[in-house]
Amino acid sequence: MAVRTFKTIVGVENYLEGACEKAILETSKIAKEELARCIQEQYYNDPSFYPNVYERTDTLLRSATYQMLSRTSSEIYIDIQGMHYRNGFSSWQVVSWASESKHGAEYYQTDTQDFWTTFIDWANKNLIRILKINLRKNGLKII
The residues spanned by each domain of the chain are: 9-137
User: What's the pLDDT at 88?
Assistant: 74
CA 26/CA 129 separation, integer angstroms: 13
Q: pLDDT band at 85, cuts 50/70/90?
A: confident
Phi, psi of 66 (to 5 degrees): -145, 160
User: What's the pLDDT at 8?
Assistant: 93
The whole-model pTM stands at 0.84
User: What's the pLDDT at 131?
Assistant: 97
Q: pLDDT band at 37, cuts 50/70/90?
A: very high
CA 115/CA 37 separation, integer angstroms: 9
Q: Evaluate the CA torsion angle 45, 46, 49, 53 in order and state its sign.
A: negative
Asked whether the predicted pLDDT for residue 1 surpasses 60, the reply is: no
Mean pLDDT of 127-133: 96
Higher pLDDT, 91 or 69: 69
CA distances from 109 to 8, 49, 120 (A): 59, 9, 21
Specify the amino acid at residue 48: S
